[in-house]
Amino acid sequence: MPMPSRNNASPPVLTFAALNAAPHELYRDLRPEFPFVQREDGAFLVLRADDVQSLVSDPRTRQIETELLRMRGIASGPVMELVSNSMLFSNGDTHRRRRQPLSRSFAFRMMEGLRPSVRSLADELVATSLCDGEMRLRDDYAAAIPAITIASILGIPRSDVPLFTSMAYRVSKVLTTSWTQADLPDIEAATSELSAYVAALIDDRRRQPQGDFLSDYVASVDQAGELSAVEAIMQIVSVVLGGTDTTRAAIVIMVGLLLDRRDGLWQVLRDRPALVPAAVLESLRYEPAVASIPRLSVEDICLDDYVIPKGRPVILSTMSGLRDPQIFADPDQFNLLRPVGRWHPVFGGGEHRCLGEALARIEMEEALAALCTSLPRLQTQDQSLRIHGHAGIRQVEELVVRWR
């Protein structure tokens, strides 16, 4: 496809395979010359930090709604129902209506109250494996923390947590770029199951309010009368979706990066726990668990001398922006003392900025603090950290860690 451009040297068109093989290297090499590249599926990947930051909430873009699903030939079914009713994939008043009943509950101040229980969960998970001398960091630790935390926010009985966790991870695959047509039947089935499960929880709280998060949510939704029954369900499913795979990947990446360094930083964190929040933020910059933010161009967007035409999917590459030397000095260095500012770009910006940022940071901080404190000799078994993906939620392979 010829590149729409007003310039001779057009930004290259890259395959998924090339982008996934060495995303940091490609972004680093292309960013100085081109503000964006095109992907083989027709999406435009914006590479520079300033552009990423401004286009997130620029009137020339809007949130992708159902376009990506339609591009993949999906026009109906449970996933379409989720996407077309979720705050994550909506705009303007529809988005505000859907997000508003949850905004207050997820604010930093409210989430701080959960910190002690997140920490006891992390300590409990470490204690469970302590005698084994090793554990699967992804499946036995990083996956459990966000899933059990969300389950407890939703008041899900502990006996249902394994079922809930498995549904959540099966559904959350839909937000990655790695699912194929063969995965679809399971994603569809899991979406139906999770939606039905959440619908039953909502019904239960409507009949018997329990003074918990979900009872307050149902009461505020009913009082405002602005959400349909399916919308009320899908905002909760969206929270589950947004809050599981993302944080699981982020915890594995953070711990894997720190252990791979083998320079004693692990012990430093144990002795100076005040550095833990900085380690969380720097790991999210250095290897973000969410690599991009999707938008659609609603008019032609001119960057330098190149044009992203109207009506195209635009992938704002936070992964590239977070290593842009225009903003981050010496970007390929992992540096705990680096200032990242009040609003870490990995959580997006504008009206869709991550609803779960406070919770994600608390989960990461407590997950790291529990490990550093209890397992000062932690190291990787024989594999180092393996991360896949150049956009969307990135995938991490299992990482076995040991302490004997």
Q: Where are the alpha helices (DSSP H) in 210-327?
A: 213-224, 229-243, 245-261, 265-271, 276-286, 318-321
In this chain, which stretch among 14-22, 224-232, 263-271, 341-349 interacts with ligand HEM, using CB under 6 A? 341-349
Which residue number, 129 or 195, has a Cβ lying nearer to ligand HEM?
Answer: 195
Q: By CB under 6 A, is residue 289 in contact with ligand HEM? A: yes
Token pair for residue 253?
A: 């990446």
Nearer to ligand HEM among residue 242 and residue 331 (C-beta): 242
Q: Binder to ligand HEM among 79, 319, 360, 368 (CB under 6 A)?
A: 360
Taking the complex as a whole, how short is the minimal distance between the CB of residue 294 and ligand HEM, in angstroms?
A: 6
**Min separation Cβ 350 and ligand HEM, Å:** 7
Q: Which of 101, 243, 313, 321 forms a contact with ligand HEM (CB under 6 A)?
A: 243
For 269-292, the DSSP string reads HHH-GGGHHHHHHHHHHHS-SB--
Stretch of residues binding ligand HEM (CB under 6 A), selected from 176-184, 185-193, 288-296, 329-337 = 288-296
Residue 152 C-beta: closest distance to ligand HEM, Å? 12
How is the beta sheet containing 61-63 ordered, strand by strand? 13-14, 36-39, 44-46, 313-316, 293-297, 61-63
Residues that bind ligand HEM (rule: CB under 6 A) add up to a total of 26
Nearest approach in angstroms of CB 319 to ligand HEM is 11
For the bound state, the minimum distance from the C-beta of residue 100 to ligand HEM, rounded and expressed in Å, comes to 10
Residue in 313, 331, 356, 392 binding ligand HEM, rule: CB under 6 A:
356
Q: Which of residues 58-87 bind ligand HEM (CB under 6 A)?
A: 63, 87
CB of 187 to ligand HEM, least distance (A): 18
Please give the residue whose beta carbon sits closest to ligand HEM in the complex.
356
* CB-count burial class (<10 Å; 0-12, 13-18, 19+) for 298: middle
Cβ(341)–Cβ(321) below 8 Å: no
Which window, 123-131, 134-142, 193-201, 346-354, contacts ligand HEM (CB under 6 A)?
Answer: 346-354
C-alpha to C-alpha distance for 215 and 231, rounded to whole angstroms:
16
* CB 282 within 8 Å of CB 321: no
The least CB distance from residue 286 to ligand HEM, in Å, is 13
Q: Which two tokens stand for residue 329?
A: 């000095």
**What values do phi and psi take at 301, rounded to 5?**
-120, 120
Output the six-digit token pair for 369.
């603090």
- Binding to ligand HEM by residue 101, rule CB under 6 A? no
Residue 155: CB atoms within 10 A of its CB come to 14
- Comparing C-alpha atoms, which of 283, 250, 257 is closest to residue 385? 257
CA–CA–CA angle 53, 57, 61 (5° rounding):
110
Q: CA 328 to CA 321: how far, in whole Å?
A: 9
The least CB distance from residue 168 to ligand HEM, in Å, is 11
Any contact of residue 239 with ligand HEM (CB under 6 A)?
yes
Judged by CB under 6 A, the stretch of 72-80, 265-273, 289-297, 323-331 that binds ligand HEM is 289-297
317 scored as a contact of ligand HEM (CB under 6 A):
no
Q: Where are the alpha helices (DSSP H) in 139-244?
A: 144-153, 161-172, 184-207, 213-224, 229-243
Select 286 or 306, whichever has its Cβ closest to ligand HEM. 286
- Tokens 């081109």 belong to 34
Stretch that binds ligand HEM, among 33-41, 113-121, 171-179, 235-243 (CB under 6 A): 235-243
Phi, psi angle pair for 2, to nearest 5°? -65, 145
Is residue 238 close enough to count as binding ligand HEM by CB under 6 A? yes
| Contacts to ligand HEM by CB under 6 A | 63, 87-88, 99, 146, 150, 238-239, 242-243, 246-247, 250, 289-290, 293-294, 346-348, 352, 354-356, 359-360
